[in-house]
Structure 1
Amino acid sequence: MKIALLGYGRMGKEIEKIALERGHEIVLRKTEENDYSGLEHADVAIDFSIPTAATENISTCFNHNIPVVSGTTGWLEHYNDMTALCQEKNGAFLYGSNFSVGVNLFFELNSYLAKLMSNIKEYNVSMEEIHHTQKLDAPSGTAISLAQGIIAETDYKQWTMDNANDNEIYIDAKRIEDVPGTHSVFYKSTVDEIEIKHTAFSRQGFALGAVIAAEWILGKKGIFTMKDVLNLG
């Protein structure tokens, strides 16, 4: 499989390492300093760039009939535009706020717990996410996905990073050097607290999941998520 890497920072380099170990070829390493030369040879593109570059990267791929796996966060106000373009071009697109297999299982656990807690009003929910200081967006895309999972199963309406009202989920976003990613969800009452937590030890799990997703999407058409890749229903 020939891969175009759109973004060649820490994650791009980790994806490259795993892709090469799995027998794939890198035909483009896109940065701010170079153009899309080599994209025409790609079977699939993996986008881990920056929020301001994501939509150009993704739309360029669709216009060249190249499927896209994107893990860039902070650009989702344009997500519907990109899915519409994908459908117009009869392409393939898979966006994930987090490609770690463990995190995607954590998403399922989070949704199930939210469903269990939906009618138990004694508990208030809040969240904490911790990432390295180089992360540009806050809260993380993973934290937003977790909040959306809770909102889908409960009476909560939205998330906030400010003082939360009764129908809002408070997210505490922290930036600490060399933390790959830690996410916690708390249900707290006056007498006890329930906590579920996922801690990433390195970027390797995110990179492996992105390569697995790229392998999976080949030959497919449509809009997908990691739930499709992992057959989580």
Structure 2
Amino acid sequence: MLLLVLGRGKTGSLVASVAHERGHSVRVVGEEENRNAAALTAPFLAGFDAVIDFTTPEAVVANMRACLANGARMVVGTTGWYQHLYDMRSLALRKNAALLYGTNYSVGVQTLFRLTRELAKALPQYQYSITETHHIDKKDAPSGTALTLKQILESENPELKVEITSHREGDASGLHVVQARSESDCLELHHEAFSRRGFAEGAVRAAEWIADKHGVWEFQEIAAQLG
């Protein structure tokens, strides 16, 4: 496969490295080369099997508009843009493109999502809170992963109002803690990423999965299909 990686940051660079390890050819385009998605023309995009975006909330929407309008297959790991999800979904379906988006491509975090849902079902009477810690360069707070955890908890019990506490420290790759507390005891689910590699591997495997498809999916929907 020939993959296009948008973003030369730490995660984008690691995505490119993992893709090479898995036998793919990769082209990386940084934001300085792609202001307002100027590089994402139809002839340029036509050569790629899939596009993986790990840029910024400011850049990703223009990138999606350009890619999806040209029928590309796109994996989006950037967060902080979901207010535009309806428009991006509609564009992808209208142009027979493919869009796979998610707040976290780590297999471990996907397990955290499932366990959080089970915890909310098992202990509906408890009070819940979420704490998340990321590196100081992460622009969105709360993290997309924390917002997904909040959505899971509150969808299981609409009476819940789950608070999120965000920290930005050093080069932390990602720590998420879901706490369930009662007057009698406290139970926590804890996931800590030691590096960005888990995110990168998941994103590359997602690109492999989407390369022959058309439609729109959230990563939670298809993560189990990756094996």
Which TM-score band applies after superposition, normalised by the shorter structure? over 0.9
Which of 158, 173, 176 is residue 180 of structure 1 equivalent to? 173
Per the alignment, residue 113 of structure 1 pairs with 119
Taking the aligned partners of 1:187 and 1:62, their CA distance within structure 2 comes to: 40
Which of 200, 203, 215 is residue 208 of structure 2 equivalent to? 215
Measure how far apart 1:191 and its partner are.
2.1
1:47-86 superposed matches below 5 A: 47-86=53-92
Per the alignment, residue 154 of structure 1 pairs with 157
Per the alignment, residue 196 of structure 2 pairs with 203
Per the alignment, residue 4 of structure 1 pairs with 4
Taking the aligned partners of 2:20 and 2:99, their CA distance within structure 1 comes to: 22
The C-alpha deviation readout for 1:90-115, integer Å capped at 9, x for no partner, is 11110010000110111011111111
- Aligned residues, how many? 219
In the alignment, is residue 168 of structure 1 matched against residue 165 of structure 2?
Answer: no
Counterpart secondary structure, 1:32: helix
In the alignment, is residue 145 of structure 1 matched against residue 148 of structure 2?
Answer: yes
Counterpart contact for 1:28–1:39, Cα < 8 Å: no
Measure how far apart 1:28 and its partner are.
4.0
TM superposition score normalised by structure 2: 0.92
1:17-28 superposed matches below 5 A: 17-28=17-28
In the alignment, is residue 229 of structure 1 matched against residue 223 of structure 2?
Answer: yes
Question: Counterpart amino acid of 1:225?
Answer: E
Counterpart contact for 1:28–1:36, Cα < 8 Å: no
Please say which of residues 3-12 and 135-144 is displaced more in the overlay: 3-12
Higher helix share: 2
Question: Counterpart amino acid of 1:115?
Answer: K
Displaced runs of 4+ in structure 1, greater than 3 A? none
Any unmatched runs of 5+ in structure 2?
Answer: none
Per the alignment, residue 16 of structure 1 pairs with 16
In the alignment, is residue 189 of structure 1 matched against residue 182 of structure 2?
Answer: yes
Measure how far apart 1:82 and its partner are.
0.2
Per the alignment, residue 124 of structure 1 pairs with 127
Measure how far apart 1:177 and its partner are.
0.4
The C-alpha deviation readout for 1:64-119, integer Å capped at 9, x for no partner, is 2210000111111101110010011111110010000110111011111111122x
Any unmatched runs of 5+ in structure 1?
Answer: 157-166
